[in-house]
Amino acid sequence: MKFEKTSEREEKVAAHIVDAAYSVHKTLGPGLLELYYNLSVLVPSWQFK
């Protein structure tokens, strides 16, 4: 299987998503419904440029 190199923008977006997910998990802890994790990650991301 051959993979394409990810762009710098894709790397930045991926890093932002992982950081947000970690922050949510660290702040709110495990055990929340997936919907709430998704909202907690997505809402701050709307400001991402």
User: How many C-beta atoms lie closer than 10 Å to residue 41's C-beta?
Assistant: 19
Q: Dump pLDDT digits (tens) for 3-38.
A: 889 899 999 888 887 887 788 778 877 777 777 767
For residue 25, the model assigns a pLDDT of 77
pLDDT band at 44 (very low <50, low <70, confident <90, very high): low
> pTM higher than 0.85 for the full model?
no
Which residues are CB-neighbours of 40 under 8 A, at least 6 positions away?
A: 20, 24, 28
For residue 8, the model assigns a pLDDT of 92
Which residues are CB-neighbours of 21 under 8 A, at least 6 positions away?
A: 37, 41
